[in-house]
Structure 1
Amino acid sequence: MQLDWSAADRSAHAAARSFGATLAPDIEARDRTGTFDHSAWAALAERGFLGSFAPENLGGGGHDFLRTVYLHEGLARGLDDAGLLLAAHAHLFGCLPILLGATPAQQERWVPGLAAGTHTYALAITEAATGSDAFAMTTRAERQGDRYVLHGEKVWVSNGPVADRILVFARTAEGAPMSSLSCFLVHGDQDGVTRHPDVPRLGMRTCAVGPVSFDGVEVPLDHCVGREGAGAQLFLSAMEHERIGIMTAALGSMDRLLHRCLRHARAPREPRAPLRSHQAVTHRLAALRMELETSRLVLYQAAWRISTGRRAPTEAAISKLQVSEAHLRAALIAIRTFGGAGLVEGTGIERAYRDATCGLMYSGTSDIQRNTIAGMMGI
């Protein structure tokens, strides 16, 4: 693996970081109320972050996956709004079935709105009764003449309460998942679609997350993404990209936490000595640096593999597991470094810990990642 970033790449990374730092100045207030920042969303769209690796001829940035990950890590280093980043990444990385499996005609119709952010996309997979066993889904799409009719309910849909374009995975036949699941693009305002309210939760409160119900929703045949029965393969390919791309937010947060802790440890504390004079503190910060650099290497190795045209199911699972759990450990180190002040609302430290905890759940729990890694080793 070679990561020889050009001067242009480094400049773009720095610009993404600087731009991110201009967004979400009111994050503490919006975190308390669970309010999504529509103006910041529009700014992300204007700067091309909602369509980074979509083809240029369809309005996207045309970047390969590795450069997209690099730019989004820069953005996340500056942007201290985990919910907004989750929304953006659910929109971009979660909707990869369109970029990976849709026909050219479908891409021409759907990708420009995705890249421009004029439509908000969501990926609907998880169901209450099946949880992490996604392929056991019971949502069905029955073909009736020139359309499909969709019945079922999805839960924990990032952007679900506000999305006007929803990619829904449903069962179209009996039998093995690899041939019985399909993916459909559904408009959020269609008859029979119910976008339920945002679910109050521990962290990432500024992203709207909630159930979406489908009660007899009529879906045109040409809104089946790719071919009928190809949903499982689309899902697996999309998850490889999503599990890598979505963790750029954790890298940015870890980097930001490290630098906040370093400033705090170096600050004078008259008449007491600075925290950096205590070995227990410096050892914790050394551990935080190790967590960050190890996570970065694992993530970029996986992104590089995909950018070279290879599959990366194991690498994606390792990335999601390593980075999400390292992020939580890093946030705990930050709380211990700041002491009681780290527990106070408004400092950003306790919020980082709450947000990091959510990272263990979305895009496949830690146990699911371990199952994937073990399965790929044949055990």
Structure 2
Amino acid sequence: MHFDWSAEQQAAYEATLAAVRKEFPGPVRDGSFSRKDWLVLGGLGLLGLSVPAEYGGGGLGALETAHRVEAFGRGCPDTGLVFAASAHLFACAMPLVGFAGAAAKKRFLPGIASGELVAGNAMTEEGAGSDVSRLATIATEAPGGFVLNGTKSFVSNGPEADVFVTYATTDPSLGHLGITGFVVARETGGLHVGGPQEKMGLQSVPAGPVTFEDCFVPKEQVLGVPGQGGAIFQHSMSWERACLFAGYVGMLDRVMEQSVEYARSRRQFGAPIGNHQSVSNRVADMKLRLEGARLLLYSACWQMDQGRPSLIGTALSKLAVSQAAVANALDAVAVFGGRGYLREWGVEAVLRDSIPATIFSGTSDIQRLVIAKELGL
């Protein structure tokens, strides 16, 4: 197994990096993305990288997709925008690619890939975060489909979304085997979208509640078959825990470059601060975390492309990248000193945007639990 990119793959990476730097030079915004931003991302192909070409996507495998998302994260200082696009693609488009019927794919996937539609993943509830087998949202079978009732408490992209991928309990007695997945258009009767919530970071990602009140969803918009929702959600999490976090690897690259440049140019005690071992050792540790996380992420994506996705592989990847993101962000603030605390330098935003990486897509403790179980503990 090796990760030697072909000339074509490396050229695609460099082209994405250059285009993103041109279109999104910064600074990090205080509010959510605009529809113009979204259409630009669609035009760059970043909203449909792993969507089949017949639906307007790039048709890439997991590893090539991650490579392009990595370029996106490296070139765009607004990590919230990178996350919003990646959640749209991996948590919403990929369940449709894998499990939606032909009519639903034709209706939703082209718009998702082009940026004409914004997608939101509606799974989290007040009483169901890490334990996704306890969904209080109920889907009751009705003639021609299902009627949904319940509230999703935190939906990334929710306030802006045109289409939602959601999950509801169809048989409470079966736990995770009694969950069914659905794709629901925003204009569907009985679907109510709440306003954006205030967050610590990832400001470009609007997030808010979504409520289903006697919301009828036709059977053509069921994902897979009733009861398959738990497996479909885990399928989407494999994509998200691997490929979405490539954006954080790109961010780590960007922060690494900024920290090295600053350590070379900033002088204290008559020398560049990088000459002082307390600073150079910190930067060396940043590089160690970055490259270890990158290799674990590439390995997880490679296994997905081989048709043998690994629970322990994606858990190790997600844990390593998210932990590295927080640790390196803290180290970057320390390298920049007082300037690392000032918003104008952008370093403090990296820290705020890194902390949620240890929470979404399964907390760090959940990843450790998965790893321990896979090891037989």
TM-score range normalised by the length of the shorter chain: over 0.9
Please give the secondary structure, in 2, of the residue aligned with 1:52. coil
**Of 332, 335, 357, which residue of structure 2 is paired with 1:334?**
332
Please give the secondary structure, in 1, of the residue aligned with 2:329. helix
1:311 and 1:105 mapped to 2: Cα distance? 28
Please give the secondary structure, in 2, of the residue aligned with 1:138. coil
Give ranges in structure 1 of 5+ residues lacking alignment. Answer: none
Instruction: After superposition, give the CA deviation of every residue in 1:165-185 in whole Å (9 maximum; x if it has no partner).
Output: 001100111322343110011
1:232 and 1:258 mapped to 2: Cα distance? 38
| 2:98 maps to 1:100 | yes
| 2:32 maps to 1:35 | yes
What is the RMSD computed on CA atoms of the aligned residues? Answer: 1.4
Contact 2:43 2:114 in 1 (8 A): yes
1:255 and 1:223 mapped to 2: Cα distance? 40
**Of 77, 89, 95, which residue of structure 2 is paired with 1:80?**
77
Amino acid at match of 1:8: E
Please give the secondary structure, in 1, of the residue aligned with 2:214. strand
Aligned residue number for residue 345 of structure 2: 347
**Of 184, 190, 193, which residue of structure 2 is paired with 1:192?**
190
Contact 2:74 2:251 in 1 (8 A): yes
Aligned residue number for residue 317 of structure 2: 319
Using the TM superposition, give the Cα deviation of residue 35 of structure 1 relative to its aligned residue in structure 2, in angstroms. 3.1
Please give the secondary structure, in 2, of the residue aligned with 1:359. helix
1:50 and 1:277 mapped to 2: Cα distance? 43
| 2:48 maps to 1:51 | yes
Aligned residue number for residue 5 of structure 1: 5
Instruction: After superposition, give the CA deviation of every residue in 1:66-104 in whole Å (9 maximum; x if it has no partner).
Output: 101111101111011111111101110111211111233
**Of 224, 227, 232, which residue of structure 2 is paired with 1:226?**
224
Using the TM superposition, give the Cα deviation of residue 118 of structure 1 relative to its aligned residue in structure 2, in angstroms. 1.2
Contact 1:60 1:115 in 2 (8 A): yes
The TM-score, its normalising length taken from structure 1, stands at: 0.96
| 2:64 maps to 1:67 | yes
Report 1:108-127 matches (<5 A).
108-127=106-125
Please give the secondary structure, in 2, of the residue aligned with 1:176. helix
1:173 and 1:268 mapped to 2: Cα distance? 62
| 2:243 maps to 1:279 | no
Contact 2:26 2:77 in 1 (8 A): no
Contact 1:193 1:217 in 2 (8 A): yes
Using the TM superposition, give the Cα deviation of residue 302 of structure 1 relative to its aligned residue in structure 2, in angstroms. 0.1
Amino acid at match of 1:336: A
Amino acid at match of 1:308: Q
Instruction: After superposition, give the CA deviation of every residue in 1:38-88 in whole Å (9 maximum; x if it has no partner).
Output: 322211101111011111112111111110111110111101111111110
Contact 1:41 1:84 in 2 (8 A): no
Contact 1:24 1:37 in 2 (8 A): no
Please give the secondary structure, in 2, of the residue aligned with 1:357. helix
Amino acid at match of 1:65: A
1:364 and 1:121 mapped to 2: Cα distance? 20
Contact 1:199 1:209 in 2 (8 A): yes
Please give the secondary structure, in 2, of the residue aligned with 1:215. strand
Select between 37-46 and 348-357 the one with higher mean Cα deviation. Answer: 37-46
Give ranges in structure 2 of 5+ residues lacking alignment. Answer: none
1:134 and 1:258 mapped to 2: Cα distance? 36
Amino acid at match of 2:274: R
Using the TM superposition, give the Cα deviation of residue 270 of structure 1 relative to its aligned residue in structure 2, in angstroms. 7.7
Instruction: After superposition, give the CA deviation of every residue in 1:308-341 in whole Å (9 maximum; x if it has no partner).
Output: 1112211111111110011100001101101111
1:317 and 1:268 mapped to 2: Cα distance? 38
The TM-score, its normalising length taken from structure 2, stands at: 0.97
1:343 and 1:235 mapped to 2: Cα distance? 38
Contact 2:132 2:176 in 1 (8 A): no
Aligned residue number for residue 201 of structure 1: 199
**Of 246, 249, 252, which residue of structure 1 is paired with 2:250?**
252
Contact 1:152 1:215 in 2 (8 A): yes
Aligned residue number for residue 242 of structure 1: 240
2:294 and 2:84 mapped to 1: Cα distance? 22
Amino acid at match of 1:35: S
Aligned residue number for residue 361 of structure 1: 359
1:104 and 1:313 mapped to 2: Cα distance? 29
Aligned residue number for residue 21 of structure 2: 21
Amino acid at match of 1:272: G
1:175 and 1:271 mapped to 2: Cα distance? 68
Please give the secondary structure, in 1, of the residue aligned with 2:150. strand
Q: Percent of pairs identical after alignment?
A: 36
Select between 115-124 and 170-179 the one with higher mean Cα deviation. Answer: 170-179
2:232 and 2:123 mapped to 1: Cα distance? 12
2:215 and 2:181 mapped to 1: Cα distance? 14
